[in-house]
Amino acid sequence: MIKFYLPNWVKNIHQKPLNIKQYSEAEIEDLKQKLSKFSSEKPLVSVVIPAWNEEVGILHTLHSLVNTDTKYEVELLIIDNNSTDGTANLLKSLGVTTFLETKQGVGHARTCGLHKAKGKYILTGDSDTFYPVGWITAMVDGMLKDEHVYCVHGSYSFLPSYSTPRWQYAFYEVLSSFIIKRKEKKQPFLNTFGFNCGFIRQKGIDINGYNIETQRTFRGAAGVVEQNATEDGMMALRLQQAGGKIKAIDEKAARVWTSDRRIQLDGGLKNALIMRVRKYLFKR
């Protein structure tokens, strides 16, 4: 269900400082201790998140993940894609398992995570996104319950910014839901975004799913409305072509909250909506 306001759990995280320098030593130690639960030697699930210059930002994502409630053994991997700020030092200070990928591009970072992960299932996230307590369980169960499901994806809502209040994004999401449902029937891979999807790791390796000709940058390109599948969509498409199903997880626990910087890259909410309506509802 699309909300016109921030849920309490999102609001609580949103109010926390983004800069580690604003935390006390006790608060840092507490976060580090909570993150240690994602250090399983034999994980069923690997949560893989690429990061580029996220020293101020990724803390909110980590705060959301430490609230996770799941029965599954989980590891958390952050792939540092040549950050030039303090991202690497921040992650090191919190004891987060981190790998450096020197090839620039989201696909290269996700490929690194694909091969470094130990879990049977990979869940992919982003460093500007909040994850509900039941996210891991909901996504993994979608694959465990049906062996023919190779890939899953959840839904999303946008976090409000200084320029766009939450209620406006809610209207946008309601209108976008019609486009999403339309794509789900014939092109579900276009609904598969890296900040909220998952797949069977070995299947992803077998098809070399993230290997695309043009690698996307972390901030993306303005004015591009999924004209082709990105590295995440290509992974999903290739998994489908390999005989697997792509499943949408409609549970409340599979709705993540992500930053609006994708919308701002398109010139704001109005421009982003016009672009998508023209492409999907008035396509000849």
3-state class of 51 per DSSP? Answer: strand
Work out the pLDDT band at 219, boundaries 50, 70, 90.
low
Name beta bridge partners: 77. 48, 97
Q: Which alpha helices (DSSP H) does 36-165 contain, by range? A: 58-65, 87-93, 106-116, 135-144
Task: Give the pLDDT confidence score for residue 191 in this predicted structure.
Answer: 95
Cα–Cα nearest to 151, from 241, 72, 247: 247
Mean pLDDT for 167-179 is: 91
Work out the pLDDT band at 206, boundaries 50, 70, 90.
very high
Domain ranges of the chain: 8-280
As a CATH number, domain 8-280 is: 3.90.550.10
Residue 181 pLDDT exceeds 90:
yes
Task: Give the pLDDT confidence score for residue 262 in this predicted structure.
Answer: 78
User: pLDDT per residue over 236-272, tens digit each?
Assistant: 999 999 999 999 999 999 999 999 887 877 777 878 7
Mean pLDDT for 46-69 is: 96
CB 209 within 8 Å of CB 238: yes
Token pair for 44: 């069923």
Cα–Cα nearest to 64, from 159, 198, 166: 159
Task: Give the pLDDT confidence score for residue 175 in this predicted structure.
Answer: 87
User: pLDDT per residue over 128-167, tens digit each?
Assistant: 999 999 999 999 999 999 999 999 999 999 999 878 899 9
Greater confidence (180 vs 266) lies with: 180
Mean pLDDT for 173-198 is: 93
- For the chain, the 3-state helix, strand and coil shares in percent, each to the nearest 5, are 45, 15, 40
Rounding to the nearest 10 degrees, give the CA dihedral for residues 25, 26, 31, 32.
Answer: 70
User: To the nearest whole number, what is the mean pLDDT of the chain?
Assistant: 91
In the block, residue with structure tokens 């999102």: 10
Work out the pLDDT band at 217, boundaries 50, 70, 90.
low
- Range among 53-57, 97-101, 177-181 rated most confident: 97-101
End-to-end CA distance of the chain: 31
User: pLDDT per residue over 74-87, tens digit each?
Assistant: 999 999 999 999 99
Lowest-confidence segment of 36-45, 82-91, 190-199, 259-268 by average pLDDT: 259-268
Distance of alpha carbon 113 from alpha carbon 117, whole angstroms: 6
CB 248 within 8 Å of CB 184: yes
Residue 284 pLDDT exceeds 50:
no
